[in-house]
Structure 1
Amino acid sequence: MTILDKIIAQKKIEVENLLANKTTFPDRELTRPSLYTTLRKAKQLQVISEMKRASPSKGLIAEGANPVKQATAYYEAGAACISVLTDQEFFKGSFEDLAAVAEAVPIALLCKDFMIHEIQIDQAKSAGASVILLIVAALDDRTLGRLYTYANRQGLDVLVEVHNVEELQRALAIDAKIIGVNNRDLHTFEVDLTQTELIAQHFPFDEERVFISESGIWDAADAERAANAGASAVLVGESLMRSDSVKDALQSLQVAKPGLRS
Structure 2
Amino acid sequence: MLGELVAGALADASARRSVRSIDDVERAALAAPPALDARAALAPRSSVHIIAEVKRASPSRGALASIPDPAALAALYELGGASAISVLTEERKFKGSLADLEAVRAAVSLPVLRKDFIAEPYQVFEARAAGADLVLLIVAALDQPTLSSLFTLINELGMTPLVETHSAEELDRALDLGADVVGVNARDLSTFELDKNLFGELATAIPEGVVKIAESAVTSPDDVAHYRRAGADVVLVGEALVTGDPVATLKRFLEP
- The answer (yes or no) to whether the contact 2:114–2:132 under 8 Å persists in 1 is yes
Identity fraction in percent: 38
Equivalent-residue separation in structure 2 for 1:38 and 1:129 (angstroms): 14
- Matched residue count: 250
Give distance in 2, aligned partners of 1:64 and 1:40: 29
**Alignment of structure 1 residues 164-203 onto 2, 5 Å:** 164-203=167-206
Give 1:12 shift: 2.6
Deviation at 1:5, TM superposition (A): 1.1
Which portions of structure 1, spanning 4 or more consecutive aligned residues, are displaced by more than 4 angstroms?
18-21
What is the RMSD computed on CA atoms of the aligned residues? 1.4
Deviations 1:120-167 (A, max 9, x none): 011011111111000000000000000000000100011000001110
Which residue of structure 2 lines up, in the alignment, with residue 7 of structure 1? 5
The aligned residue for residue 16 of structure 1 is 14
| CA distances 1:13-69 after superposition (whole Å, capped 9, x unpaired) | 23333455534221211253x221122253210100000000011000002442011
Return the alpha-carbon distance in structure 2 between the equivalents of residues 65 and 59 of structure 1. 17
User: 1:84 aligns to what SS in structure 2?
Assistant: strand
Contact 1:223 1:255 in 2 (8 A): no
Q: Secondary structure at the match of 1:192?
A: coil
Offset from partner CA, 1:52-108 (integer Å, 9 cap, x none):
000011000002442011101101001000000001111000000110111110110
User: Can you give the 5+ residue segments of structure 1 that lack an aligned partner in the other structure?
Assistant: 257-262
Structure 2: how far apart are the matches of 1:121 and 1:146?
11
State yes or no: 1:114 paired with 2:112.
no
Residue number in structure 2 paired with 1:146:
149
Residue pair 1:224, 1:255 contacting (<8 A) in 2 also: no
Cα deviations by residue, 1:197-238 (Å, 9 ceiling, x for unpaired): 11113222x3x2110000111111111110111110100000
* Corresponding residue of 1:220: 221
Letter in 2 for 1:107: L
- In 1, distance between residues paired with 2:186 and 2:78? 24
Counterpart for residue 234 of structure 1: 235
Give the AA of the match of 1:8. V
Q: Which has the higher helix share?
A: 2
TM-score normalized by the length of structure 2: 0.93
- Segments of 5+ residues of structure 2 without an aligned counterpart are none
User: Which amino acid letter does the alignment assign opposite residue 90 of structure 1?
Assistant: K
Work out whether 1:77 is the aligned partner of 2:80: yes
